[in-house]
Structure 1
Amino acid sequence: MTDKDETDSSGWKSRLAAVKARFLGNWRQVRSIVANRRHRAERLHDPLPAGQRPQDILAILLLTVGIALILADIPTYPWLRSLPPGYRDLFASITDFGKSHWILWSTGLFCLGYLAFADFDRLCGRVRLTLAMIWTYAAFVFYSVALTGILALVFKWILGRARPKLYEEVGPVAFDPFILHGAYTSFPSGHSTTVAALATALALIFPTWRWLIIVLAFWTAFSRIMVGAHYPSDVVAGTLLGMTVTLFCARWMARRRLGFTLSANGSIVPIISQRSAQTGLRALWQVVTGRRSALRPAADAETAK
């Protein structure tokens, strides 16, 4: 190995060591913030509002899934077969938006990259606050989608409901628990769970866009029925699972004032106002376009030297 190769190797090792040190330091700061907020949450004993208590959610699940199972599942398959093929092709073009991989990759890489490369101490206040909020919400989306996806997979393999493609063989209510076969993983719908988790998270983060997010999520989840992958009750169950878990995650964060807070009536609202968010994003855009520096003035002077 030449002297140049040794120099390059030592340079890479020092860079990796710096990245590792920064990542661990940032991660310790995140853990410290969460730990400090835990004491505040322990002092709050706000009761869950009606409709969000476990027994209420179970009642809603049993009611809606039961109605869908009895009234919608049986006629759905023959109705789908009566439709022109163009309908299936149309919904097939949007159904993949319910896959979780693009959500997990984008939010996960952003969170890891920010911890590895962001220098909190050198960033100016507004940019630091904005990036911290983006990181918090990205981590919230990642955790909600990942957790609901894992739960959906567990329920799928445990319950073992036959998919609609087996309708003519076994009917719409065939369950074979622990069969561990791909054709028996219909309940609940994994795509619908992911879509509901993402939509609930985005609706909480962007409350003024809530209805548009809900409508887009509805059609994406409904596409699972139109392409013949799931029964209506599968989609209803997946939607309720994604919404419920995400709301509990958001409430856990709100009690600690991490990205969210609880209003006077107990609803979950973003901790940052719309005006503050716009101001922060404008500052971040100015940094990206080179119209301002992301560093504090003292850090700017030190960098210039």
Structure 2
Amino acid sequence: MTETHMQDRSGLAPGETGPSGETGPVEQAGAWALRHLRRMKGNALRVRAILRGRSQRAAGARRALRPGHRPQDVLAVMLLTVGIAAIALDIPTYPWLRSLPDEYKQAFSAITDLGKGHWILWTTGLYCLLTLALDWDRLRFRVRAALALVWTHAAFIFSVVAASGIAVLLLKWLLGRARPKLYEEVGPVYFDVLSFKGAYTSFPSGHSTTVAAFATALALIFPAYRWLIAVCAFWIAFSRIMVGAHYPSDVIAGTLLGLTIALAMGRWMARRRLGFHFDEHGAIEPIAGRRSAGLALAGLWQGVTGRRGWRRAVPAPILSETRKEAD
């Protein structure tokens, strides 16, 4: 490649500095990336400072768990429902599935992969990382409020799905229950503890755990749609049985595990008033009401569609000083 080809429109080659101090495209790109990385680090430190500042609030907001929400109550429900399912449902399920037409399995195969956590983690994680690179001080109030609201809930969903995924993986590989495809060889209640084989990772269902954690998080964020969210989550979790990947007891255990982790994380955030708070009955509900959230999102939409600018009006001296600090 010749020197002419290596030059940009300004006539500068990479590493070359012009008379006025301007640099080439490589240096400009490096400076741009470094500036945004510094901004991401600064915003991350601000988030950490907010979390640390809420520790005293969390200590004062501790309240006893209601009956049915205590760890021993959840464990009792899990032992009861999973035990009944293992005795009454697991044994006849596999022969029943074999008697169904293949169209049923194909239909549920179309939705079963929605229970995978990678698409949830990628979307929420990338949003949280990319928005940390923004200069939040220059954004208009409604835009900043909307982005912060979405950031809080995205981080909540990411944490819930990641934590439930780690927990279910540990249980899967620890317990080593045989999958339904080994039904005729070892039966429905065979466990090979610490076998570390893919065919012995049936209990609990990972898809069901992810779906339950994700659905519970959405139900806490959008309480008016909780029944619709619950029904959709049910069919996605039920698809794991229909495609022959899990027994009913696997799905029930995974659902209870994901539900428990999401509620525990929701309580952790509500004590710190991060996106949620407790109502007068001790239930978790979002801090932002419909009206305030709607106004914030409307401001964000106006910025996206170009009806209004993203940035707020800043006096010229302040803006120039801010730019010097950023550079």
TM-score bracket, normalised by the shorter chain, equals over 0.9
Task: Summarize deviations over 1:67-99 as a string: whole Å, max 9, x none.
Answer: 111111000000001111110010001101001
1:108-157 deviations in Å (ceiling 9; x for gaps): 111000112x1111111111111001000000001100110111010000
CA distance in 1, matches of 2:315, 2:155: 28
Distance in 2 (alpha carbons) for counterparts of 1:299 and 1:197: 46
- Counterpart of 2:185 (choices 169, 172, 177) is 169
Distance (Å, rounded) in 2 between the aligned partners of 1:228 and 1:285: 43
- Is the contact between residue 62 and residue 271 of structure 2 (CA under 8 Å) also seen in structure 1? no
1:87-106 aligned at under 5 Å gives the runs 87-106=104-123
Residue pair 2:142, 2:297 contacting (<8 A) in 1 also: no
Assess if the C-alpha contact under 8 Å between 1:137 and 1:259 holds in 2: yes
Question: Which of 283, 287, 293 is the aligned partner of 2:303?
Answer: 287
Q: Distance in 1 between matches of 2:236 and 2:34?
A: 44
SS of corresponding position for 1:269? strand
Paired residue type of 2:244? G
From 9, 14, 20, the counterpart of 1:5: 14
Report the counterpart of residue 278 of structure 1 in structure 2. Answer: 294
The Cα of 1:49 is off from its aligned counterpart by 1.2
Amino acid at match of 1:33: I
The alpha-carbon deviation at position 299 of structure 1 amounts to 6.5
Deviation at 1:300, TM superposition (A): 9.2
Comparing 179-188 with 121-130, greater Cα deviation is found at 121-130
Cα distance between partner residues in 2 of 1:299 and 1:274: 33
Task: Encode CA deviations 1:49-74: one digit per residue, 9 max, x unaligned.
Answer: 11111111110110110111111100
- 2:103 maps to what in 1? 86
2:210 is matched with which residue? 194
Say which SS state the counterpart of residue 80 (structure 2) adopts: helix
How far the C-alpha of 1:11 sits from its partner, in A, is: 1.0
Once structures 1 and 2 are overlaid, which stretch shifts more, 180-189 or 289-298? Answer: 289-298
Question: What SS does the corresponding residue of 2:137 show, helix, strand or coil?
Answer: coil
Distance in 2 (CA, whole Å) between partners of 1:37 and 1:294 is 29
The answer to whether the Cα contact below 8 Å between 1:144 and 1:197 also exists between their aligned partners in 2 is yes
Tell me the equivalent position of 1:260: 276
Q: Which residue of 2 aligns with 1:57?
A: 74
The CA distance in 2 between the partners of 1:92 and 1:9, in whole Å, is 48
For residue 89 of structure 2, what is the aligned residue in structure 1?
72
Task: Name the CA distance, whole Å, in 1 between partners of 2:315 and 2:157.
Answer: 32
Percent identity (aligned): 59
Q: Please show how residues 1-305 of structure 1 align to structure 2 within 5 Å.
A: 3-6=12-15, 7-116=24-133, 118-298=134-314
Which segments of 5 or more consecutive residues in structure 2 lack a partner in the other structure? 7-11, 16-23, 321-327
In the superposition, relative to structure 1, how do residues 298 and 179 fare at CA in structure 2: closer, same or farther (>3 Å)? same
Amino acid at match of 1:153: L
State the Cα deviation string for residues 214-245 of structure 1 (Å, max 9, x = none): 00000000000000000000000000000000
Q: Distance in 2 between matches of 1:34 and 1:83?
A: 52
TM-score (norm 1): 0.96
What is the total number of aligned residue pairs between the two structures?
A: 302
Q: Are the counterparts in 1 of residues 57 and 272 from structure 2 also a CA contact under 8 Å?
A: yes
Tell me which residue corresponds to 2:324.
Answer: none
The structure number with the bigger radius of gyration is 2
Tell me the SS of whatever aligns to 1:257.
Answer: coil
Structure 1 residue 9: deviation in Å? 2.2
Residues 8-36 of structure 1, C-alpha deviations (whole Å, 9 max, x = no match): 22212211210111001100110111111
8 Å CA contact 1:107–1:141 kept in 2: the answer is yes
Give the secondary structure class of the aligned counterpart of 1:261: strand
TM-score of the pair, normalised by structure 2? 0.90
Distance 1:228 1:300, change over 3 A: farther
Give runs of ≥4 in structure 1 deviating > 4 Å: 299-303
